[in-house]
Structure formats: structure tokens, C-alpha cells
Amino acid sequence: MPETLPSPTDKLTARIDGHIGWLVLDNPTRRNALTLAMWRAVPELVAALDAHPDVRVIVVRGAGDGPFASGADISEFETVRATAEGARAYEAANAEAFAGLSRAAKPTVAMIRSFCLGGGLGLAIATDLRIAGDSAEFGIPAGRLGVGYPPDAMVQVVAALGPMRAKELFFTARRIKAPEALQAGLLTRVVADDTLEAEVRQLAESIAANAPLTLRAAKAAINASAGLDDRVPAALRALADACFDSADYAEGRIAFLEKRAPQFRGA
């Protein structure tokens, strides 16, 4: 049976179904726009999913058939972002949410339907893989809102798009459709809306079937190569070495010789 984890807000839920952890944005009246409470809950819930022994991959999505996220909940700005001090605190919560997701040791996937804008796009970019339905629409409207993005909020955007594409999205504040986002390197894959959830679940299950320690080491090494992980080389080498000392390494060899699917335990 799926397990639901405690959450500090009813607008963000975390549940576990088999080896898949689901982080679900659930603010339908605001098109899944993220409130300050949701931003603050993201690192806590991602950390809980990342630490859960059954979870091998984390999927971030909007609830039901709703959008991924239409951005930050602008209706809060007159209160939580009314001053420079409040704006800085709000941006810090944003940055901590992005960092909390990008720091997850386990693979992360964004399942994107309809709107994926502003802070919602930032959250999606903090994941490792992004699968979008053909209705998906992307944009960063900061230039039309007078919102400033600090450097630490730009790192993932530039890594995903490159400096020139990132500048274009910020400078023009225009929206792009899924095919253009795929061409720009923002997405892993675009699929039909009516098959999106099934395709994402199949991808997540295929990831979960592989050796968890190998995926952890690979993710850390790739992120370090891309400038997204500042761990020293010795720490990255230790993650790779742990694979060779694991029971999963023996299981992988034996399963290969016996011509069967391996049964990895993450140890």
C-alpha cells in the first residue's frame, strides 16, 4: 500500500509507492503556484523521501491532471515580499527548495504537464530528468514582475540551458512550447499528455530496477563534472568505491552469468 509522509502543508504531499517517491504540488485554485509554505516544505519532504529505504527515485509533479506549477503564488507578494527584507527571505526559501531537490542523492524526475513557469520552472530544472506532455509551456516572467534572481538561483538554469538561452528567456520573458524546450535541452523527452503519467512511471521503475549505489555515485560524479556538486574528488571516489564493496556488485555479476534480471538491494 502507498505510504503518505507527514507534511507541514496540505498543498504539498509526499507519498511512496513501491520504490517511487512522489512529491506532489497540490494548489489547484492557483494552478499549482507555490506558496511560501510550499517552498519551505520542499527541502524537508525531499530529504524525507531521499532518506526512505524503499525509495530509489523521486518524481515531482502537479496533482491530478493539473499544471506542474504556474510559478510562485503572486497573491502572497504584497505581504511576504512587500519589503526588500521580506523579498530576500522569500528568495532564500526558493533557493533552499531548489538546492534541497538538486542535492537529493537519488535520481529525480519532473513530470510536467501544462504550465511550468517562473519558480515552477526553477523547481523542474533542479531535477535530473524532465519529461513533459505535449501541452507543456515554459517561461520565466521575472522581467514583467520586477523580480530579481540571485546568482545561486541561476546556477541550475544556466547548466540546463547555457548562458545565451538563459539570457533570452529572462530578457524576453516569453513562453516556449514543449518542442522548443526539448530542442533547447531543457527536456529529456516530450510525450502525449494522455500517456505522460504512464511514461514517467515506466521510466521511474526502470531507474529503480538498477543498482542504487551505482546511480548515487554516477549522479554525484556527473553533477561535479557539470559544476553542480562541490564535493572533493576523494568523496566522489569513495562513492564509486562503495559500489565495488557492495553485495549489489556481486549480485550484478552473478545475474549476468545466470542470464537473469538482477535483484539489487542498495547495499
Q: Find the CATH number of the domain harbouring 25.
A: 3.90.226.10
Q: Is 218 in the same domain as 148?
A: no
Residue 13, C-beta contacts closer than 8 angstroms, at least 6 positions apart: 4, 5, 7, 22, 23, 24, 26, 63
* Contact yes or no for 54/30 (Cβ under 8 A): no
Question: Domain limits at 238?
Answer: 212-257
pLDDT of 110 over the 70 cut: yes
Q: Is 92 in the same domain as 194?
A: yes
Q: Which of 187, 208, 229 is the last residue of a domain?
A: 208
Is 267 contained in some domain?
no
Is 148 contained in some domain?
yes
**pLDDT value at residue 35:** 95
The span from the CA of 216 to the CA of 229, in Å, is 13
What is the average per-residue pLDDT within 212-231?
93
Q: Is 235 in the same domain as 159?
A: no
pLDDT of 57 over the 70 cut: yes
**pLDDT value at residue 85:** 78
Helices (H), the chain: 36-51, 77-80, 84-102, 119-125, 142-145, 151-161, 163-172, 178-183, 196-208, 212-225, 233-244, 247-257
At 165, which amino acid appears?
Answer: R
The span from the CA of 187 to the CA of 164, in Å, is 17
Environment class of residue 260 by beta-carbon count within 10 Å: exposed (0-12), middle (13-18) or buried (19+)?
exposed
* Contact yes or no for 58/104 (Cβ under 8 A): yes
pLDDT of 171 over the 90 cut: yes
Partners of 59 in beta bridges: 22, 109
Is 151 contained in some domain?
yes
Mean pLDDT of the chain: 93
Q: Is 220 in the same domain as 245?
A: yes
Is 98 contained in some domain?
yes
* Contact yes or no for 14/47 (Cβ under 8 A): no
**pLDDT value at residue 65:** 93
Q: Is 169 in the same domain as 239?
A: no
Q: Is 204 in the same domain as 216?
A: no
**pLDDT value at residue 148:** 75
The span from the CA of 170 to the CA of 78, in Å, is 23
pLDDT of 77 over the 80 cut: no
Q: Is 119 in the same domain as 15?
A: yes
Q: Is 119 in the same domain as 20?
A: yes
At 119, which amino acid appears?
Answer: G
Is 159 contained in some domain?
yes
Name the CA radius of gyration of the chain, rounded: 19
* Contact yes or no for 85/211 (Cβ under 8 A): no
Q: Is 158 in the same domain as 245?
A: no
Rounded to 10 degrees, what is the CA torsion of 11, 17, 20, 23?
A: 0
Least confident stretch, 7-11, 120-124, 158-162, 173-177: 158-162
Local confidence band at 82 (pLDDT 50, 70, 90 cut-offs) = low
Give helix 36-51 / helix 84-102 axis angle, nearest 10°: 20
Q: Is 112 in the same domain as 217?
A: no
**pLDDT value at residue 83:** 74
Is 263 contained in some domain?
no
The span from the CA of 199 to the CA of 195, in Å, is 6
Q: Is 132 in the same domain as 148?
A: yes
- Per DSSP, the three-state class of 105 is coil
Is 128 contained in some domain?
yes
pLDDT of 18 over the 70 cut: yes
Is 262 contained in some domain?
no
Q: Is 141 in the same domain as 221?
A: no
Retrieve residue 26's grid coordinates.
497540490
Nearest to residue 116, comparing CAs of 140, 94, 100?
A: 140
Residue with cell 549522479: 219
**pLDDT value at residue 151:** 77
pLDDT of 29 over the 70 cut: yes
Structurally, the chain folds into a number of domains equal to: 2
